[in-house]
Structure 1
Amino acid sequence: MKITQIRNATIQIENNGVKFLVDPYLAEMGRYPGFPNTMNSNIRNPRVELPFSLEEILDVDAVILTHIHTDHFDEIAYNVIPKNKKIFVQNINNKNFVKELGFKNIEILTEEGIFFNNIKLIKTPAQHGSREKVESTYKSLQVEYDSCGIILESNHEKKLYIAGDTIWCEEVEKTLEKFNPEIIILNAGDAQLLDGTSIIMGKKDVKKVCLACPNSVIIASHMETVNHSTLSREDLNNFAKAEKINNLLIPNDGQSYSFS
């Protein structure tokens, strides 16, 4: 298995010879205004450029959308991904949204699991911030709250858990207990609303995952790209050293890891 951190939550995964693109956020630096009602909303997004060409990024067999917030699936992605490309989505609302953009080969992920080229994809639950704290803000911004994670299982490959946009919560804890994934990708930039409420994992959440799965490799993604990300790679690395966490990888954009 090969995992490449592209930018933000956008990653490429090569599993048993099948290549997936997760959460394509493909705009050039500074194309969009900062997200309203979030930290540092004066900063334009994305904050950095892509590390690869669009041609390299789009050289995949399928696309996985954990949800359709614009820092996971943006207007550049709408236009450059081929309309017949296989796209996996979390629910019927997301399917309808993607279908209206002209995409023709869309499938909804399920908790029972579906297969693509002999790889099993299993939908897992997530909390994109504590629901009671953030759902009203999401509604005011006219974006949906729901997000998901995904388990990838296949013969001769390690079990992979992409947690998606979530905080540490009971659903994540149960997913770890149920599947015991060997590789875990966390969105760990501690994106925050204006009142300081975290809507993805921060360093304390990352520590909980690392302690819950001491024999797993944890990879930190979704960092240093959008205005409301408040945790830097350097700060997370310093925290991990201070806490003696030794199963955490913090890739730079463009960096890859291979697992056998």
Structure 2
Amino acid sequence: MKWIKTLAVSFLGLMLMSGSALAQVSYQHIRNATGKLSYNNTVFLIDPMLAEKGRYEGFAGTFNSEIRNPTIDLPETKEDVLKGVDAIIVTHTHLDHWDEVAQQFINKDIPVFVQDEKDAADIRHEGFNNVQILNKDIVFQGVRLTKIEGTHGTEAMYENPEFAAVAGESMGIVFSADGEKSTYLMGDTVWTVRVTKTLHNYRPDVLIMNTGYAKVLGYNESIIMGTEDVAKATRLMPKSKIVAVHMDSINHCTVSRKNMREFVRLMNLQKQVSVPDDGETLNLDK
């Protein structure tokens, strides 16, 4: 039976040499909207905010603006956050998604993917040499990146020119590759027809949702998603895994992880929805 053992060892060797055979989709939540998505053996660092606790003033004109940001520290060192990272995703350049510490600390030659020419120009001005705009699908190391436009507030909010100027544009991304679970990083957006169409057209296996329900003074609605949006996502995509993030770290978020976990429990969604702690890694293939 020696030949059987030899065959088994050879087969294992082929598996180890084949990246796609052992590729695993995982997400390590760092803090707020910052996370590391490991996809098709490629690691994307999403929306890096790397400052220490309390470095910045609270966002003016928002809920709890007297509280300094970020409200909690990173769960690990900046060096550890950057370990193994192949590329950076910046969904938009608001401070809680792309801060001055990240700009100074991150290697200037690493690929950075952005939503438009404005963000690209800003990031190039900060010294980054490999900034790519997702104005069409881009394939990076075997991973297809598809830009999905976000809406960082309601239509009524955007009718206010001052709000529109501050909120600006934002994006989500669909990650896809042969043999991998498609993943929709929603980014900072409220629920829109475009979100529903994206779910219908791409049928993503994984949804990463920003659900802190951040509030701007003078408006009843939020500028990002919250608990009810998570419930809606589970109804529309009952087989998808959902990761809820962007909570507990920034002054204007009104939904905490404690709130979200209680909501998930009451709605009996624990098998579908994860609310990771800072530093926690989720295996999304299971």
Bin for the TM-score computed over the shorter chain? over 0.9
Secondary structure of 1:252's match? coil
Q: 82, 86, 95: which one pairs with 2:120?
A: 95
Partner amino acid, structure 2, of 1:100:
H
- Please tell me whether the aligned partners of residues 152 and 167 of structure 2 are also in contact (alpha carbons under 8 angstroms): no
CA RMSD between the two structures: 1.3
Query: How much does 1:144 deviate?
Result: 4.5
| 1:251 equivalent in structure 2 | 276
Residue 171 (structure 1) aligned with residue 194 (structure 2): yes
Residue 153 (structure 1) aligned with residue 152 (structure 2): no
The worse-fitting range, judged by mean Cα deviation, of 242-251 and 43-52 is: 242-251
- Between the two structures, name the one with larger relative contact order (CA 8 Å, sep ≥ 6): 1
Partner amino acid, structure 2, of 1:97:
D
- Please tell me whether the aligned partners of residues 124 and 150 of structure 1 are also in contact (alpha carbons under 8 angstroms): yes
The worse-fitting range, judged by mean Cα deviation, of 212-221 and 236-245 is: 236-245
Identical amino acids, percent of aligned pairs: 39
Query: How much does 1:237 deviate?
Result: 1.4
Partner amino acid, structure 2, of 1:250:
V
What's the TM-score, normalizing by structure 2?
0.87
What's the TM-score, normalizing by structure 1?
0.95
User: 1:78-114: CA deviations, max 9, x gaps?
Assistant: 100111110000001100010111111010013x411
- Please tell me whether the aligned partners of residues 208 and 243 of structure 2 are also in contact (alpha carbons under 8 angstroms): yes
Partner amino acid, structure 2, of 1:177:
H
Partner amino acid, structure 1, of 2:39:
N
- Please tell me whether the aligned partners of residues 172 and 186 of structure 2 are also in contact (alpha carbons under 8 angstroms): yes
User: 1:123-171: CA deviations, max 9, x gaps?
Assistant: 00211111331453435xx534210000000123210000000111111
**Largest Rg, 1 or 2:** 2
- Please tell me whether the aligned partners of residues 182 and 204 of structure 2 are also in contact (alpha carbons under 8 angstroms): yes
More helix by share: 2
User: 1:33-86: CA deviations, max 9, x gaps?
Assistant: 000110000000000000111111112010001000010000001100111110
The worse-fitting range, judged by mean Cα deviation, of 32-41 and 142-151 is: 142-151
Partner amino acid, structure 2, of 1:102:
G
Aligned-partner Cα distance in 2 for 1:202–1:137 = 24
Aligned-partner Cα distance in 2 for 1:82–1:29 = 22
User: 1:207-243: CA deviations, max 9, x gaps?
Assistant: 1111111100000010100000000111111112222
- Please tell me whether the aligned partners of residues 168 and 208 of structure 1 are also in contact (alpha carbons under 8 angstroms): no
Residue 202 (structure 1) aligned with residue 220 (structure 2): no
Secondary structure of 1:143's match? helix
Residue segments in structure 1 that go unaligned for 5+ positions in a row = none
Aligned-partner Cα distance in 2 for 1:145–1:38 = 16
Q: How does 1:1-260 map to 2 (within 5 A)?
A: 1-59=25-83, 60-110=85-135, 112-134=136-158, 136-139=161-164, 143-195=166-218, 196-246=220-270, 247-260=272-285
